[in-house]
Amino acid sequence: MKSKENIVFLGMMGSGKSSIGYLVSKKLNLDFKDIDQIIENKLKMTIYDIFKKKGEKFFRSFEEKITLKLLKRQRTVISLGGGAFINLKVRDEILKNHHPFWLKWTSKTLIKRIKNSPKRPMSYKAKYSELLNLIKKRSNIYSKATYQINCENLSKNEIVNKVIDIYEKTQINS
């Protein structure tokens, strides 16, 4: 892996960024870092509690700092939080120097996975139409990712193998 080129997973909450990222890291023998997990560990609070007690603005600022620091590492598979790629500084850094993979699902699948999940502050108790709007808005930004994996109808292993195949081809061609 060339300097600073990490594999970065982005997508909506519930898209499998953490589980797919972990599996990819194991198969490629790379470090794995989950931004949300790091934030929870550093602040000793769940993401939901951070949103509730400190607010989204605080969370996004902290998320930016942690993410930009982590992107300086090498040989790492990184799972972003669902909203991290919306941040222009984070997005620019990822698009310039890393391998961003968008794990893409239908709105119906995502809503089924995230609706009323207390772990997910942006979707907990949200109306169906609000979730649909959030997915649509974020998808416009996620679509800027270099690689898009349409995950619908694929198993975890098929998604992992697709990511590794794409990644290895980029290494051969660089």
**Over the stretch 33-48, which tens digit does the pLDDT of each residue have?**
999 999 999 999 998 8
Task: Of 58-62, 101-105, 132-136, give the lowest mean pLDDT range.
Answer: 132-136
- Per-residue pLDDT for 75 more than 70? yes
Which residues, listed in sequence order, are joined to residue 31 by a DSSP beta bridge?
76
The pLDDT of residue 172:
74
Instruction: Tell me what percent of the residues of the chain surpass a pLDDT of 70.
Output: 91
**Average pLDDT score over residue span 138-146:** 96
The architecture (CATH level 2) of 7-166 comes to: 3-Layer(aba) Sandwich (3.40)
Element holding 164 (H helix, E strand): helix 156-172
d(CA 160, CA 23): 7
Task: Of 15-24, 110-119, 141-150, give the lowest mean pLDDT range.
Answer: 110-119
- Per-residue pLDDT for 120 more than 70? no
- Per-residue pLDDT for 76 more than 80? yes
Element holding 23 (H helix, E strand): helix 17-28
Helices (H), 29-154: 35-43, 47-54, 56-70, 88-97, 107-114, 128-142
Per DSSP, 73 falls in state S
The pLDDT of residue 117:
64
Long-range contact pairs involving 37-41 (C-beta distance under 8 Å, separation at least 24): 38/66, 38/70, 39/63, 39/66, 39/81
